[in-house]
């Protein structure tokens, strides 16, 4: 969008009117479409015209600026067809709240995507049930999940693992608190897993065959 100046002479006096214009593609080629009239912008500094055009474009799209800009009053927007998306958005404009960016800060940002995907595979493999049948407590199962995902996503030592866990959204996904997690708890959990390793590995191997139908794949392979 851009602003175009239109002038006309009436009784020897020149009157200027500024139009908010956008380019549209028609069967006859690109054409200019007047979005709305902005009136006479002469009292406003020229360097603010572009900001006004951007603000008008955002308003027509039902958006609200987040970045602080100079106070630029908006002219009345053209009426939109009843039931259109723009009309519905404009009707909800009174529900919006201004945001002071100088008072907004980011705290405790966490990585969610990789641990979420890893947790879904953890459940798909039935590791929760396998660990439960091996006698692991809920806390031990949570630690095992954290250690497994660490090896898959960001391999690190047990010493560095607690900090990585706290940088992810795993605590929010599981609904647990890892703020006090230390490497000693991870070492103890490794001892617990080592004692039950045969039972866990056997159950996991059986689950893998059933999940991916490996026996059928082998039979098909040998028949070829």
CA-to-CA separations, 16 to 13, 38, 103, 119, in angstroms, rounded: 10, 10, 41, 64
User: Assign residue 128 a region: left if phi > 0, alpha if psi is -120 to 50, beta otherwise?
Assistant: alpha
Query: Mean pLDDT across the stretch 205-211?
Result: 80
User: How many Cβ atoms are within 10 Å of 174's Cβ, its own excluded?
Assistant: 16
Give this prediction's pTM: 0.49
pLDDT, tens digit, for every residue of 58-116?
A: 666 665 555 444 444 545 444 454 554 544 554 454 566 677 777 777 777 788 899 99
CB 172 within 8 A of CB 133: no
pLDDT, tens digit, for every residue of 29-68?
A: 888 888 777 677 666 677 776 776 677 666 666 655 554 4
pLDDT, tens digit, for every residue of 160-186?
A: 899 999 989 999 889 988 988 988 999
Apex CA 68: angle with CA 66 and CA 74, to 5°?
A: 85
């Amino acid at each position: 969008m851009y602003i175009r100046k239109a002038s006309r002479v009436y009784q020897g006096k020149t009157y200027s009117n500024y139009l908010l214009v956008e380019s549209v593609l028609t069967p006859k080629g690109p054409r200019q479409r007047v979005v709305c009239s902005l009136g006479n912008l002469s009292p406003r500094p020229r360097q603010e015209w572009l900001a006004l055009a951007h603000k008008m474009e955002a308003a027509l799209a039902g958006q609200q600026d987040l970045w602080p800009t100079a106070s630029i009053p908006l002219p009345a927007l053209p009426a939109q067809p009843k039931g259109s998306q723009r009309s519905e958005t404009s009707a909800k404009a009174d529900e919006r709240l201004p945001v002071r960016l100088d008072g907004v800060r980011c705290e405790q940002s966490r990585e969610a995507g990789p641990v979420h995907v890893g947790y879904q595979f953890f459940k798909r493999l039935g590791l929760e049930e396998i660990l439960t049948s091996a006698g692991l407590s809920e806390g031990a199962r949570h630690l095992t999940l954290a250690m497994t995902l660490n090896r898959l996503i960001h391999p690190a030592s047990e010493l560095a693992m607690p900090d990585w866990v706290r940088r992810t959204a795993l605590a929010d996904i599981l609904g647990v608190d890892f703020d006090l997690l230390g490497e000693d708890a991870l070492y103890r959990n490794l001892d617990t897993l080592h004692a039950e390793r045969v039972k866990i590995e056997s159950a996991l191997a059986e689950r893998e065959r059933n999940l991916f139908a490996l026996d059928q794949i082998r039979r098909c392979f040998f028949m070829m």
